[in-house]
C-alpha cells in the first residue's frame, strides 16, 4: 500500500512535489519501503507542514499567534500542537512532519519555529541537534546534492542550478588554476535585492574587485553563468543557528572563489574555504568546503523512528 502524503503551508502557487524529485518524499518511500501518493489532507497518513502561509508569513500575525501560543502551552501541554492542527485543519489522528527551509531565528518565520518547539512534532529544520534535540538538521542544500543512498533522476537543466552538487567535489580541495574554464577576473552576485546589509557588503567587495550584479537568471543556467567568473558573492539572507542555503555550494560547484561570506554558528563549512573580501593574491587552491562528508543515514533513521514509527 502506498504512503499517502499531503503537503500544506507550501508557497502559494508552488507545484505539487513529484516523489521522483523530492528528497524528503524519496526518503520516506525508502524507509517505508512503499510508493508515495500525494493526496488531500483528509485522506493522508502523513502531512508535511511548511511555514509559507498566513499567519506564519506575516510578522504581525505571527507575533500575535506566538504570544497566544505561549499562554496556551503554559496551561495545556498539548495546546501548541492542537493550535497548529487547527491553523492547518489537520485531523487529530494524522501524523505530521514540520519542514522549514527558512531561517527560523528570523521574522516572520520565527513564529513557526517557536510554535513547533513547544510540541513533540517531528521536524526537519536548519537547527542543530544541540539546540533542538527532538528535530533533525536538514539544510536546504541537501535537497540538491547527489546522494548515493538515493539516486536522483537525471534532470540536468531542469534543476534551478543546472546540476546536483557532487559531494566528492565539495569534500576535496578546489584547484583554481586548472579547472578548464576561461573566467573573468570579476565577481558576480546573483541577487534580487540590495537591501541592508547587502548594499554595504557589495561596496566592501567592490573595493577589491569589480562586481556584476545579475538578476533573473533563467532556470537551469546558474552553473554556466558562474563558471565565467573568478569570484562569487555568497552572502546569506540572514544569520541563524545552522542556517546555510545553496549559495556557497553553488559557487564551489562552479569553481568560483566564494566571497562576502560570514559563517553562521554551527556551520558545516570549513572556515578556510571562503573569504569575506577577495584575497590580494589568489591562492592556487582552496581547502575542502565540507568539514566531513555528510550522508543520509541519520535522516533515514529519524524518518523511520519518529515519523513512520518503524
**DSSP category for residue 160:** S
Radius of gyration of the chain (CA): 21
Rounded Cα gap, residues 102 and 121, in angstroms:
18
Q: Look up residue 103 and give its three cell numbers.
A: 531561517
H or E stretch at 74:
helix 59-75
Q: State pLDDT tens for residues 35-70.
A: 999 999 889 999 999 999 999 999 999 989 888 877
Residue-level pLDDT at 153:
67
Residue 272 confidence (pLDDT) above 60: yes
Residue-level pLDDT at 179:
78
Estimate the crossing angle of helix 79-88 against helix 59-75, to 10 degrees.
140
For the residues of 203-265, what is the DSSP string, one character each? HHHHTTS-EEEE--PPTT-HHHHHTTEEEEE---SS--TT---SHHHHHHHTTPEEES--PPT
Confidence of residue 157 (pLDDT cuts 50, 70, 90): low
Cis peptide before 55 (omega within 30 of 0): yes
211, 199 contact by CB (below 8 A): no
Q: State pLDDT tens for residues 67-110.
A: 887 777 667 768 889 999 999 999 999 999 999 999 999 999 99
H or E stretch at 187:
strand 184-190
Q: Look up residue 96 and give its three cell numbers.
A: 505530521
The residues spanned by each domain of the chain are: 3-149+295-307, 156-286
Q: State pLDDT tens for residues 122-139.
A: 999 999 999 999 999 999
Residue 255, CA atoms < 13 Å, CB-side half-sphere: 18
Residue-level pLDDT at 154:
63
- pLDDT over 90, % of the chain: 74
Residue-level pLDDT at 67:
84
Confidence of residue 17 (pLDDT cuts 50, 70, 90): confident
Rounded Cα gap, residues 243 and 59, in angstroms:
20
H or E stretch at 37:
strand 36-38
- pLDDT over 70, % of the chain: 97
Residue 21 confidence (pLDDT) above 90: no
248, 262 contact by CB (below 8 A): no
Residue-level pLDDT at 75:
74
Q: State pLDDT tens for residues 274-302.
A: 999 999 888 889 999 999 999 999 999 99
Residue 273 confidence (pLDDT) above 90: yes
99, 48 contact by CB (below 8 A): yes
Residue-level pLDDT at 12:
76
**Strands 95-99, 136-137: parallel, antiparallel or unpaired by DSSP?**
unpaired
Residue 269 confidence (pLDDT) above 90: yes
Q: State pLDDT tens for residues 106-118.
A: 999 999 999 999 9
Rounded Cα gap, residues 118 and 132, in angstroms:
11
Residue 29 confidence (pLDDT) above 70: yes
Q: State pLDDT tens for residues 251-265.
A: 999 999 999 999 999
Amino acid at each position: 500500500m502506498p504512503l499517502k502524503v499531503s503537503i500544506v503551508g507550501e508557497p502559494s502557487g508552488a507545484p505539487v512535489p513529484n516523489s521522483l524529485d523530492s528528497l524528503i518524499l524519496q526518503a520516506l518511500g525508502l524507509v517505508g519501503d512503499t510508493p508515495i501518493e500525494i493526496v488531500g489532507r483528509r485522506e493522508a497518513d502523513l502531512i508535511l507542514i511548511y511555514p509559507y502561509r498566513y499567519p506564519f508569513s506575516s510578522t504581525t500575525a505571527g507575533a500575535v499567534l506566538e504570544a497566544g501560543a505561549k499562554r496556551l502551552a503554559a496551561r495545556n501541554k498539548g495546546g501548541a500542537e492542537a493550535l497548529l492542527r487547527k491553523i492547518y485543519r489537520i485531523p487529530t489522528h494524522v501524523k505530521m512532519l514540520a519542514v522549514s527551509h527558512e531561517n527560523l531565528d528570523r521574522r516572520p518565520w520565527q513564529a513557526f519555529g517557536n510554535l513547533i518547539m513547544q510540541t513533540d512534532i517531528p521536524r526537519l529544520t536548519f537547527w542543530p541537534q544541540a539546540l533542538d534535540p527532538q528535530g533533525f538538521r536538514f539544510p536546504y542544500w541537501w535537497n540538491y546534492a547527489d546522494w548515493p543512498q538515493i539516486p536522483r533522476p537525471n534532470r540536468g537543466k531542469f534543476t534551478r542550478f543546472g546540476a546536483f552538487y557532487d559531494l566528492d567535489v565539495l569534500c576535496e580541495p578546489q584547484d583554481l588554476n586548472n579547472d578548464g574554464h576561461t573566467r573573468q577576473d570579476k565577481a558576480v552576485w546573483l541577487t534580487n535585492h540590495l537591501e541592508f546589509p547587502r548594499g554595504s557588503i557589495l561596496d566592501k567587495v567592490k573595493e577589491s574587485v569589480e562586481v556584476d550584479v545579475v538578476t533573473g537568471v533563467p532556470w537551469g543556467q546558474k552553473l554556466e553563468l558562474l563558471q565565467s567568473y573568478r569570484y562569487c558573492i555568497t552572502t546569506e539572507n540572514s544569520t541563524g543557528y545552522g542556517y546555510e542555503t545553496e549559495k556557497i555550494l553553488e559557487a564551489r560547484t562552479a569553481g568560483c572563489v566564494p566571497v562576502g561570506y560570514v559563517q553562521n554558528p554551527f556551520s558545516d563549512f570549513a572556515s578556510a574555504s571562503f573569504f569575506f573580501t577577495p584575497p590580494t593574491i589568489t591562492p592556487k587552491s582552496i581547502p575542502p568546503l565540507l568539514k566531513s562528508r555528510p550522508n543520509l543515514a541519520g535522516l533515514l533513521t529519524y524518518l523511520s523512528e519518529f515519523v513512520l514509527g518503524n
